[in-house]
Amino acid sequence: MINLELSKNLIDSFNDDGFIILDKFIDLKYLDKLRSKFEPLFRGEFETGIEPDEWNWKFDKDNAYATRQICNAWKSDNLIREFVCHKLIGKCCSILMNWKGARLVQDNILWKPPSGETLGFHQDAAYDDWLIPQTMITCWMSLDNTSREMGTLEYIKGSHRWGLQPPKGEFHSPEDYKKELNIFAERNNKKIDVTYVEVPAGGVSFHHGNTWHGSGINTSKDNRRAIVSHCVPSDARFHPTNEGGTAKIYKKYKKQNSDILDDNYFPLMWEKK
């Protein structure tokens, strides 16, 4: 299904830049199958009968040009689950972050149509202050050829070393999608060095949870679709008091008198034995 062997050079690049970008990851024979899942999911057709945790765009109801997002489609579709929960992703994430193991905290199904709008620059880990430790790594798998013209993902090189800022500004379709990045960089005397994730269909990128990233408008005539795994350490726990980030959605899975992340809701992907 997927294939990747992390070399020392890739690990060093991740540590230096806060991300790595690779042209080959998903076995190409799965691409059409994965792409065929998108329209049914966004129409509310869930193979397992279980709704995802977040469903931010619906046909005939929402802005046709918004970037479409579903969170935790792994609960709704078995093939999506096979990919976003794959043990190789968990192993790669653990190696890159120097963790003993990794579990899925959230997935994304992302669909940016032609003229699809922006996603504001942000840091993924900033939304998870309801976890201890507050850290994350993201595996972004492209199902289409990507380019700057298509509003592909943009990374700010080295920004994983800038620390975390609480989430600010608009996330979906902001007019100035770099506003919060520019404000932060100016206030903290940081240099903005943009890298665009331009890969063939089946390519991948991994980025640190502190890495600033966002995406512009899709000015092409093509769809840009991706599936995403957001991973946290296998031994991550619920924060006893913090209710920020996406806590209002995911803290409902917290058991009484326990801070453990239940495998049924936060699947363990890989752990060193």
Domain boundaries, the chain: 9-254+266-271
DSSP string, 234-246: TT-EE-SS---TT
pLDDT above 90 as % of the chain: 97
> Over 90: is that where the pLDDT of 162 sits?
yes
Distances in Å between the alpha carbon of 59 and those of 35, 70, 117, 160, 231? 17, 13, 16, 36, 29
pLDDT of residue 107: 98
At the topology level, CATH places domain 9-254+266-271 in Jelly Rolls (2.60.120)
pLDDT of residue 135: 98
pLDDT of residue 149: 98
Please, are residues 100 and 234 in contact by the beta-carbon 8 Å criterion?
yes
pLDDT tens per residue across span 168-196: 999 999 999 999 999 999 999 999 999 99
> Over 90: is that where the pLDDT of 217 sits?
yes
DSSP code at position 190? -
Q: Give the 3-state secondary structure of residue 166.
A: coil
pLDDT of residue 261: 98
Average pLDDT, stretch 213-229? Answer: 98
pLDDT of residue 23: 98
pLDDT above 70 as % of the chain: 100
pLDDT of residue 244: 80
pLDDT tens per residue across span 118-136: 999 999 999 999 999 999 9
Please, are residues 215 and 118 in contact by the beta-carbon 8 Å criterion?
yes
pLDDT tens per residue across span 14-66: 999 999 999 999 999 999 999 999 999 999 999 999 999 999 999 989 999 99
Please, are residues 250 and 127 in contact by the beta-carbon 8 Å criterion?
no
Average per-residue pLDDT in the chain?
97
pLDDT of residue 245: 81
Average pLDDT, stretch 209-225? Answer: 98
Average pLDDT, stretch 106-113? Answer: 98
